[in-house]
A and B are shown apart, each in its own frame.
Chain A
């Protein structure tokens, strides 16, 4: 039975929150650094290139798979500044859920933890009257900030998004995150808006050489819209190379993914025009847990 009721309620909440988001701008570290995004500089976040992570479209689904990930990096190689993240996900054919945790800290100065729960509903599927596949998702995040000697503060935010897959080799997606959830409460998170496209050369499940081009546009808080683009080459299902760029300010990146029996190791190097280099590392594991007719 499709949890239509759940979806409808989620949609209503999301629309209401989106309205609030248009009126207010708000930090919470929602940088796109999870897994694949490390090498793509965030391109693909609109079309949910990763199953779960902070700052991406919550409308992500990997039918009939369960997975987990862990990522770490030191932004721009800054001493004492570090970001750690971990998450788990589980998807059925048309519905999935994920839980993520991220900690951002400046040693001795500031700490921030985010706990995110997200759910995804798949509406369209092969053979139905709906043109293509549509994934809808929503996420809720509990933010907690620590100030050494200064106590802590808690804030809530949420996000919603959609990914539309009209034909097999093309996807479009958009989402909003960092939307305030507490009416009248002090907002603590920056609003993130992102939309984009993804085109691939072949069926991503095939074993042949695969090329994926992603183009996104992202806006965080009051900063200008940025262009995020990436090209991924997968000569073998176990190996993937990604190059990304973002502007402004100019950033470039290179990433590599090595997979083996469901486990993936990701390593990326980013370069920021002013802030220098960042090394990002991640581990992902996913596993099919049942067989269904969904695609």
Chain B
């Protein structure tokens, strides 16, 4: 009964037809980085490690294959055999170069220790290499180096008389080298002393995107997406796509296109790059594309001419922070007030790139905002409420746009989780506890961004004060701190000392009057200065018309 094992970097368990201890071919690669955009190099398609079983002590051979659909020149290929752990550095062999050898598409080339068929088990060799010494249970390493890379195959003291096929399986970073479970279509399947056919390399396969990652290292603004940590490459970022060969029907060559949806409307409008994909047979490859710090939005990766519809597309949000944020929410408003929540475009914050967002595909708590939501400029607010009319009646004119989406679902007073999504991707969520009466779970007020300005320092009930319209201010100060709440006119004159306080939560209200009496309409500045010297400011309006 074959065992199924999961190989690091490989997306599905691989059944081994040979018991694992025996199958421990343990081919380790002390590798060089996989060349960007490089096509596959030659592979070691079969190894006759110990020909003793075929009664020919000189019968070692190795088979070098070309997995690509194009011809492959082996001019730069050099093969060495060495003692284990030396990786060829102290090779006792003189090595073999294959200058002038050209492999056709998916062709192979046989290198034998003994070229005489009568002495090597009947093999018809393409090149004799007397220094090839794999014989009879002695562990060695084979080192293949070529212009595009270098690989070391550890050939253990294996079971006599067995040749190993399909040794090439490129894992994540060339360190998970394991024998592949699949055999080459139409080829010999590891018969001792029997050479594989010329068509051993599987001509068809299906490529799938396993993962796309974005990584950037730029001082303190480092950010990374997806599960991979990625390699830091200076101050610029890179997109890295991992492509897997599924080993099923599909074209061999394809292109990976990367497009950017900067405004999160679900439509990729900017082509970032289009690169050819070349994956070694039966393996995976990482394709790295320099992306720079200007990539912000959703990256759409897609493989062209791939017949597998399930995994040839991949989307990756690339943002250092939230592009859109729920800044305020009020699930249990006072009598007569509507429920509402406030949303803000935060693309400019946390090192992002300020840009307009399309809310046509946005949803709040699963409720699509629809085309009426329009676009949201950087820093702009949008209030979604169950009743725009009652909202305006309560808060008067505010800076934020007010939207009443159809089919409003009441927010639960027993506590809930609010989720905001863009183009089907959840970009922010808040969890609030049970609330009662006029209490609010929100840290701020519509049109302001207390959460965005660094904490829970204050909370305003609106932007307008005046006769019959009180502006409520709630201040939360950390332990040991104190604050003063002042109102200034545009000349910088103090017109009202609204209050002071220490640590804890305190509430203040302003009716629009100054210390010297009623203030005239116009802009005034409400300023909360804390004992640590920091200050919050907000422009408020005094109205004297109902």
Contacts and interface: CB of A to CB of B under 8 A. Distances in A.
Interface stretch (A22-30, A61-69, A202-210, A282-290): A22-30
Contact of B489 (A26, A27, A42, A109): A27
B529 interface: yes
A221 B495 contact: yes
Contacts of B525: 75-76, 78, 81, 275
Interface stretch (B158-166, B232-240, B513-521): B513-521
A116 interface: no
Given A78-B525, A81-B539, A226-B493, A107 B399 contact: yes
A261 B236 CA distance: 48
A76 B523 CA distance: 13
A29 B397 contact: no
A106 interface: yes
B537 interface: yes
Nearest to A148: B397
A220 B524 CA distance: 14
Contacts of B514: 221-223
Contact of B545 (A148, A150, A189): A150
A221 B487 CA distance: 14
Nearest to A77: B537
A249 interface: yes
A166 interface: no
A115 interface: no
A222 B545 CA distance: 21
B516 A29 contact: no
B463 A25 contact: no
Interface residues of B, number: 37
B521 A27 contact: yes
A224 B464 CA distance: 25
A192 to B, nearest CB: 9
Contact of A31 (B396, B490, B494, B542): B490
A33 B353 CA distance: 34
Contact of A109 (B399, B494, B516): B399
A105 to B, nearest CB: 8
Given A248-B494, A275-B527, A29 B399 contact: no
Contacts of B116: none
Interface majority SS on A: helix, strand, loop or mixed?
loop
A274 B516 contact: no
B489 A220 contact: yes
B399 A189 contact: no
A78 B489 CA distance: 13
Interface string B488-510: 11111111000000000000000
A170 to B, nearest CB: 27
Nearest to B538: A78
B379 A274 contact: no
B293 to A, nearest CB: 25
A261 to B, nearest CB: 33
Nearest to B392: A149
Interface string A224-265: 101000000000000000000010110100000000000000
Interface in A80-118: 80-81, 83, 104, 106-110, 112
B118 interface: no
Contacts of A249: 492, 494
B278 to A, nearest CB: 51
A188 B520 contact: yes
Contacts of A150: 396-397, 545
A188 B529 contact: no
Contact of A274 (B396, B400, B486, B521): B486
Interface in A144-188: 145, 147-150, 153, 187-188
A76 B537 contact: yes
A33 B253 CA distance: 68
A272 B517 contact: no
B478 interface: no
Contacts of B542: 27
Nearest to B527: A274
B522 A223 contact: no
A183 B221 CA distance: 62
A81 to B, nearest CB: 5
Nearest to B494: A249
Max chain A Cβ within 10 angstroms of own Cβ: one of B392, B397, B523: B523
Given A226-B493, A248-B494, A275-B492, A27 B397 contact: no
A212 B79 CA distance: 89
Contacts of B495: 221-223
Given A29-B522, A223-B495, A80 B397 contact: no
B131 interface: no
B535 interface: yes
B541 interface: yes
A228 to B, nearest CB: 10
B215 to A, nearest CB: 33
A274 B397 contact: no
Nearest to B543: A147
B491 A31 contact: yes
A189 B541 contact: no
B522 A79 contact: no
B398 interface: yes
Contacts of A106: 399, 523, 539, 541
Given A109-B539, A148-B397, A221-B493, 11 more contacts: A27-B542, A30-B491, A76-B492, A79-B379, A80-B399, A189-B520, A190-B489, A222-B515, A222-B517, A223-B494, A246-B492
11 contacts: A75-B490, A78-B539, A147-B545, A153-B545, A189-B520, A190-B489, A190-B520, A223-B493, A272-B492, A275-B488, A275-B535
